[in-house]
Structures are given as C-alpha cells and as structure tokens.
Amino acid sequence: MIKNRTTSNAGSALGSGRSPLINEKSFFARLTDRRSESRGKALIYCSALLMIIAVTAITLFLTLQGLRSFVVDHLNFWTFITGTEWYPDRANNPSFGAFPFIFGSLAVTFLAALIATPIAIGTAIFMAEIAQKWGTKIMQPVIEILVGIPSVVYGLIGLSIVAPFMRQHFGGSGFNLITGAIVVGVMILPTVASIAADSIRAVPDSLRQASYAIGATKWQTIWRVVIPASGSSLITAIVLGMSRAFGEALAVQMVIGNARNLPGSILDPAATLTTIITLSMGHTTTGSVLNDVLWSLGLILLLISYVFIVIVRYLAKRGEVR
Amino acid sequence: MNSKVTNRIALSVIVLCAAAMATILISMLGYILVKGLSSISWHFLTTSASPFMPGGGIKDQLWNSFYVLFITMLLTVPIGVCGGIYLAEYAKPGKVTSFIRTCVEVLASLPSIVVGMFGLLLFVNYFGFKYSVLSGALALTVFNLPVIVRVTEDGFRALPRHQKEGGLALGMTHWHTIKTILLPAAFPSILTGIILSAGRVFGESAALLFTAGLSTPDLNFGNWNPLAPNSPLNLFRSAETLSVHIWSVNTGGIMPDVDTIANGSAAVLVICVLIFNLFARMLGKIINQKFSGK
C-alpha cells in the first residue's frame, strides 16, 4: 500500500511538476536542492569571510604603506611623532613633525566631547526619565534626522554661521580650534544622546522605585541612582561619540583654519590628522616622501581608531560583568 | 526645601538641554532650507557645473550621487544580507564567530577617510580603476557593509522562532527555510534599514574624495553606452558627487557664486536625505501595522 502511494506520488510529481499540497520534488530536483543547500551555505560563508578579509586588508595595506616612510625613507619614528615642525616642501632639509596634527586631532576630539556630553546626556535623561512618552516621541525623530544630516552640511553650517560668529566676538579669522570642536561637537550630539538614552532605559525600574520609596526627589534619583547604575554604558556612548569626532575629516577641514603650527590657545587655527591628509593627499605623487608621510599619518589615525574600539569593547565587557 | 529647589533647577536644566537639541535641528534645517531653496531652480538642477562663470548647476553631481549610490547598493546588499544571515543563522558561538563580529564592529567604527585611503591604495592604484565610479562604489561598499549586516541580523533575530521551526518541520533544508520563509518575513525590516543606510551613503564625502575623484568629465546624457568615456553610465570615469562638490566648491571654488551653489547643493542633499528618512519611517510604520494586525 505504502509503496504504491509513494510511487504514485512520485509519478504525479514527475508528471505535473508539483503536488498540490507541498512542493514535493522529484529525485533529481531534490538532489539539486541539496546542492542548493551547500551552494547557499557557501555563499553565506563567503560573505562572512569577506568581512574578515576587508578588515585584514585595510589594516595590512595601511600598515605596510604607512611604514614606508620609516623603512624606505629612513625617517626617525620618534622625531616624526614628537616633531612640531611641518615643512615638507622646504627645499633643503624638509622636516616632518606630526605632533601638531596628532595634538589637533586629540584636542578637537576632547573639546567636542566636552561640548556634546552635557547636552547629549541631558537630552537622554529628558527622553528616558522625565518625559518618557511625548519626550521620546518628539526627540527620537529629531535625533534621527540629526544623525542623517551629512557631515559636509555640518561643515557648511560651521563655515557660514559659527566661524563668522567667532570672528565677530573673539577676533581673528574665526577659523580656529574651538570652531572645529563646536562643529564636530554638534555633529556627535545625536550619536551620544541616542546611545545614552538606550543605556538609561536599560536601568531596571526597581532601582528607581526603591529610591522614590525612601523619599528621594526625581533629581536625586537620577543623579544618585540612575546615572551610577548606567555608568559604564554612558561612558561607552561618549567614547563612541569621540571616535566619530576623531575620524571626521571634511567638516573639520572646512572650519579649523589649517595651520601647520601647534595652536597656542583654543582660538588659534590648527590642523588635525584628517585635515592634513584631506588637503595634501591629492597633490602628492605616489612614492614621494611626503606621500609616504601622509600614509604614516593615516596609519596613526587607524591605530588611534583601534584604541577607541578597544576601549569601547572593554567598557562593554565590564558592563556585562556587572 | 533645599533638595526640592535643586530638583527644580536640575530638571529645568535637563529640559533646556533637550530644547537646545531641538533648536539646533530646527535652526540648521531652517537655515539650509531657507538659504538653499531660493537658489534651487529647474535651471540649477539641470545645468552642468561651470568652474569659472556664475550660474553653474549641479546636474552631473546629482546624477553621480545617485549612480554611485545605486552601484554601492548593488554591491552591498547581497553581501551584507548574506553576512547578516550568517551571523543570525549559521554562526556557532566560538572564536571564529566572535572574530567576525569584531570585524563588523571594526568596519563600522573606522573613520570614513581611512576607508577612502584604503580605496585609493587598493582600488584606485593597485587594481588600476583610477578615480572612478567603481572605485568610489567599492570604497562605499566597505563603509556600508557593517550597517547592512547589522540590519539583516536584527531583522532575522526579531522573527518569531516558530516560523523557522515550521519550515524545518516540513522537512525543508536550512537554506531553503531561510530562502523561502525567513528572508521574505524579514525583508521589510531589512528594506527599512537599507533605505536609511542609503541616506548615509548619499551624504558621504570623505571616503569618496580619493576614490571617485574631484572632477567629472563632460557628460553626454544622450549617450547611454556604458563603454563610452562621456557616458553617464560609464563605470570607469571620475565622478564628483554632490557632497564632495559642496566641499570642493567651498575650499577651492573660484566661481563668483560659491555661496549660492554651496547652499543650493546642501539644500538638495538635505532634502534627499530627509526623503530617504521619511520613506524608511513610513515603511516601518506600515510594516508595524501589518504585523501587529491593527
């Protein structure tokens, strides 16, 4: 009986191509199906592999190219890192001191974090603690749109609003370190705010209730209970914002003034690793010393980005343990 | 009493912070749109840029932006979706998986200019693609891949378990279940993420500076042969996109109406990104309604 049924089924499957209930396939179709399983699997694994390849290739290529200036052009690594004189086109005795750019990058990053953190954390608390319903309803789209605005537009705004404002009130050209920091600070605001809001929301309600139960005010609850409880993930939010600020190129380049000297104050024009690469890379020929040095700057950029990534991972792990 | 006063003050400061954020957005959008919309006209959108004379438009740049976006998505979506499926369905907890996860994280947090430099090294110089649409699209693929991977993984993880179990219970293979049941079910949320990431790609500039170049050859919009050097479809011509154009006009532009062009371009850029955002949002809402059965 059973055998009969199978044969008739197989026959109908062969005859009509598909049975009415489920797509039962013929022997050969099933064979190809199994092959499609392995083919699909291969496709999936290749894509996953590609991710590894991309990261490895980026690291490897930039490292090899970045080491050229030390290996091929025999620049001293230490004088390169700490030197403050950047005169790559001086005819006799050109000097490549990258310190002003490293300093500029770090200064912009920290100043931007300093500007962005209070407003971003404030917004996050507003969304997650004070006005949970309508606050989120209004601020969520605001944050999403701000995240979506391209960085050149932030640069353009800095160029046409912040820089003239600085020029009027603090003198100088208006293109300086603090202008760059403000532009980048505003740029990382939404990133920090949305991650911070998530981490505040993750604090269990029982903590808040316990705090209210012993008579704490809303602010005391926020300051003494909620913020310490979400501690390391709040710091993660800030570090992620800083890593974004650190890597930003064009927006900073448009407003920072692009000076080759170490800035004496936050009102002096400066330059960062990204801005000097942006400005000079197109004008150099491959293989020249300046070109190699720019790749070394790129390598430093990559390494510091990795440091940020490691910090974020460390913080995430610490958050998990707690 | 004292703690109550502190409470009042602190809470108002927090509200002020949120208000400041909203004000920043409104004033930025307002500034860009008010300044920019006056310089947008049909003429502005349909004329080529002129390097010296006033009255140049952004036709080529606008086309380049969309073309590079299209090619990028063509490359990113299949790879990214497959990568996301791997992480959601095939990855077994272990060293390899956590390494791939780390790689996705690293890719997502690399500065875009580093991706641009990598593109310059590999695609432009080593593969010899020169400054071209293809180099730019490949660099942006590296830049956009982690986003699509995450979106896909989240989309798959959000699916109820019984859908997968149902497929497997019918005797289907794992891949067949993914292909015919899970992927269609997760498709809407993946699509929302793809559209959002398209907005990000559309506005990206630093990664394109050294890969797609700062110039565009004279395009002949009547010539659709992708092999012709002046065809808009040619993959191997340099292509300055809209966001790169804003930057290059502001840093090195010598035409007398730099401000008008920059503001107009910025407005077009922002409007496009807003449309992407709105579209993704609407799609998300529709899907939500459909799935929650309201």
Q: Residue A215: pLDDT above 70? A: yes
Question: pLDDT category, A185, cuts 50, 70, 90?
Answer: very high
ipTM of the complex: 0.90
Does B2 map to a domain?
no
The CATH number given to whatever domain includes residue B259 is 1.10.3720.10
Does B99 map to a domain?
yes
Does B22 map to a domain?
no
Tokens for B263?
Answer: 């503001």
- Interchain contact, A247 vs B25, CB within 8 Å: no
User: Across chain A, which distance is largest between two alpha carbons, in Å?
Assistant: 98
Q: State pLDDT tens for residues A61-107.
A: 999 999 988 888 888 888 888 888 888 877 777 888 889 999 999 99
Least confident of A4-8, A18-22, A175-179: A4-8
Residues A135, A127 contacting (CB under 8 angstroms) = yes
Which pLDDT does position A287 carry in this prediction? 78
**Which parts of chain B have pLDDT scores under 50?**
none
Q: What is the mean pLDDT of chain A?
A: 84
Which pLDDT does position B257 carry in this prediction? 82
**Exposed e or buried b for every residue in B266-280, given b needs 16+ CB within 10 A?**
bbbbbebbbebbebb
Partner residue opposite A126 with nearest CB, options B15, B170, B202: B15
Which pLDDT does position A113 carry in this prediction? 95
Interface residue of B2, B7, B12, B14 to substitute, partner A, most A CBs within 10 Å: B14
Q: Is B36 exposed, middle or buried (0-12, 13-18, 19+ CB in 10 A)?
A: buried
Q: State pLDDT tens for residues A110-156.
A: 999 999 999 999 999 999 888 878 888 888 888 988 888 999 999 99
Q: Which residue of B has its CA nearest to A186?
A: B24
Q: State pLDDT tens for residues B150-171.
A: 999 999 998 888 888 888 888 8
Residues A58, B138 contacting (CB under 8 angstroms) = no
Does B19 map to a domain?
no
Q: Does B85 touch chain A (CB under 8 A)?
A: yes
DSSP annotation of A93: S
Does B13 map to a domain?
no
Q: Does B282 touch chain A (CB under 8 A)?
A: no
The label of the residue with tokens 């300086």 reads A176
Question: pLDDT category, A30, cuts 50, 70, 90?
Answer: low
Q: Residue A1: pLDDT above 70? A: no
Total tally of structural domains belonging to chain B: 1
What is the C-alpha separation between A15 and A20, in angstroms, rounded? 12
Mean pLDDT over residues A147-170, rounded?
Answer: 91
Task: List chain A residues with CB under 8 Å of B111.
Answer: 246-249, 274, 301, 305
Does B6 map to a domain?
no
Does B7 map to a domain?
no
Question: Domain range holding B176?
Answer: 38-292
Nearest to B145 by CA among B181, B104, B106, B186: B104
The minimum CA-CA distance between B90 and chain A, rounded to whole Å, is 8
Residues A59, A302 contacting (CB under 8 angstroms) = yes
Interface residue of A38, A46, A53, A152 to substitute, partner B, most B CBs within 10 Å: A152
Task: List chain A residues with CB under 8 Å of B120.
Answer: 281
What is the C-alpha separation between A104 and A290, in angstroms, rounded? 19
Does B17 map to a domain?
no
